[in-house]
């Protein structure tokens, strides 16, 4: 739910629980007055670990939280992924509520029920599906968000937009230079609605949900070769995958041109370059989403709002798409 005030959204939800069974988990960069016991966590990908989850379990045990307890998770996607996993595994699962505070977490990480931590250098290697009782979105958090994090979240919004024509047209109207929150609110709502529609049809990622991986086959490889915020990698990945969509599936060129324009106007160019192509292709061939070894498997689009999953592309096709991306 989208709200204007967190306390008034949260209070009726928490009324279902005993006063002493409510725990708050919060990113230590945020300031929020909570009258409940609060565990503040230092947040970055290196803390997205089983050790952090263990510290949450400890906090819950020390405060005698029973199976009727609830964990309120306030933070970005790292915190909501860890908090959801800690809640889902504590005493075989207690309730949790997400209050996402980054744009990426609002439109992606805090809904859909995927939770987890990194393990032995593998991203999100340990985790489970567990739906939050509620996700409360207060766009006011975005005022303090660094602009690079804002752009990263918007990259993932553009991906969602390519899955729904109406949303795509609305996203193109948004003035990204302003980063104004008021006109963004309805776009956040629309992105969540598109994701929810897809996730409801395929809660455990058996098929259809793979459309949400658009941009991510190239994106994940780019992220591995050089450090960048996730939504930037997704945007570069979208450009490469739309290029392949044009060549292979006859997708109209317009969305590719629009995305390219957005990238050139608001984002840095990718830090990788043509020298990295061989390594990028090798990484895509090893992607854990592949059904057969050494294949490059992507979600592509035939047009805006018409994605197709499980498209196997050749190394030559991938190479040409990377050439286009790095020529920009
Ligand atoms: N579960 C899912 O379906 C799903 C989907 C997408 C991404 N994810 C996960 O989400 C994570 C990325 O999430 P993220 O981009 O939100 O990163 P993040 O949680 O690391 O937050 C980004 C940075 O912003 C800070 N921050 C958070 N809220 C702030 C605010 N309001 N003002 C100022 N600073 C703030 C954080 O401390 C951090 O430094 C990844 O671990 C990814 O795997 C999960
Ligand atoms: Zn993503």
CA angle 36, 39, 45 (to 5 degrees): 145
Pocket test for ligand 1, best of 32, 105, 137, 140 (most atoms within 8 A of CB): 105
**pLDDT for 273:** 85
Tokens describing residue 223:
């992220």
Using an 8 Å Cβ cutoff, are 160 and 240 in contact? no
**pLDDT for 290:** 73
What average pLDDT does the segment 48-73 reach?
98
Residue identifier of the C-alpha nearest atom 4 of ligand 1: 109
Domains of the chain: 6-143 (3.40.50.1970), 146-327 (1.20.1090.10)
Answer yes or no: is the C-beta of 286 below 6 A from any ligand 1 atom.
Answer: no
**pLDDT of residue 10 exceeding 80:** yes
CA angle 229, 230, 236 (to 5 degrees): 95
Answer yes or no: is the C-beta of 108 below 6 A from any ligand 1 atom.
Answer: yes
Residue identifier of the C-alpha nearest atom 34 of ligand 1: 145
Using an 8 Å Cβ cutoff, are 43 and 28 in contact? yes
Residue 206's pLDDT band (boundaries 50, 70, 90)?
confident
Residue identifier of the C-alpha nearest atom 35 of ligand 1: 145
**pLDDT for 50:** 97
Q: Please state, in angstroms and as integers, the Cα–Cα distance from residue 270 to each residue in 273, 282, 322, following that order.
A: 7, 18, 11
Residue identifier of the C-alpha nearest atom 25 of ligand 1: 76
- N- to C-terminal Cα distance for the chain? 39
pLDDT tens for each residue of 246-285: 999 999 999 999 999 999 999 999 988 888 999 999 999 9
54 CA to centre of ligand 1 in angstroms: 20
Residue 150's pLDDT band (boundaries 50, 70, 90)?
very high
Answer yes or no: is the C-beta of 112 below 6 A from any ligand 1 atom.
Answer: yes
DSSP letters spanning 285-316: HT-TT-SSTT-EEEEEEEETTEEEEEEEE-HH
105 CA to centre of ligand 1 in angstroms: 6
Answer yes or no: is the C-beta of 81 below 6 A from any ligand 1 atom.
Answer: yes
Backbone angles phi, psi at 40, to 5 degrees: -95, 130
153 CB-near residues (< 8 Å, 6+ apart): 102, 103, 104, 105, 106, 107, 145, 231
Residue 213's pLDDT band (boundaries 50, 70, 90)?
very high
pLDDT tens for each residue of 19-50: 999 999 999 999 898 899 999 999 988 999 99
């Amino acid at each position: 739910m989208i709200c204007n005030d967190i306390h008034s959204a949260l209070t009726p939800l928490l009324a279902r629980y005993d006063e002493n069974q409510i725990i708050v988990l919060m990113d230590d960069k945020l300031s929020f007055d909570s009258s409940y016991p609060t565990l503040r966590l230092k947040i970055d990908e290196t803390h997205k670990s089983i050790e952090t989850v263990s510290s949450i379990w400890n906090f819950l045990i020390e405060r005698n939280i029973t199976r009727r307890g609830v964990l309120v998770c306030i933070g970005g996607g790292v915190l909501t992924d860890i908090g959801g996993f800690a809640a889902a595994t504590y005493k075989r699962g207690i309730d949790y509520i997400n209050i996402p505070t980054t744009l990426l977490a609002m439109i992606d990480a805090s809904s859909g029920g995927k939770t987890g931590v990194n393990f032995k250098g593998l991203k999100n290697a340990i985790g489970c599906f567990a739906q939050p009782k509620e996700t409360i979105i207060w766009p006011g958090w975005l005022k303090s968000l660094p602009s690079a994090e804002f752009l990263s979240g918007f990259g993932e919004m553009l991906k969602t937009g390519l899955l729904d024509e109406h949303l795509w047209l609305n996203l193109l109207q948004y003035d990204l230079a302003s980063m104004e929150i008021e006109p963004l609110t309805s776009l956040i709502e629309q992105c969540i609605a598109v994701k929810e529609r897809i996730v409801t049809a395929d809660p455990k990622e058996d098929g259809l949900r793979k459309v949400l991986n658009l941009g991510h086959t190239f994106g994940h490889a780019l992220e591995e070769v050089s450090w960048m915020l996730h939504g930037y990698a997704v945007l570069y990945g979208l450009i490469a995958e739309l290029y392949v969509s044009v060549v292979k599936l006859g997708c109209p060129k317009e969305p590719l041109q629009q995305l390219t324009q957005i990238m050139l106007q608001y984002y840095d160019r990718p830090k990788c370059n043509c020298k990295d192509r061989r390594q990028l292709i090798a990484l895509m061939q090893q992607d854990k989403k592949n059904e057969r070894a050494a294949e490059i498997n992507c979600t592509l689009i035939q047009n805006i709002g018409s994605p197709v999953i499980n498209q196997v592309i050749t190394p030559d096709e991938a190479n040409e798409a990377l050439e286009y991306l790095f020529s920009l």
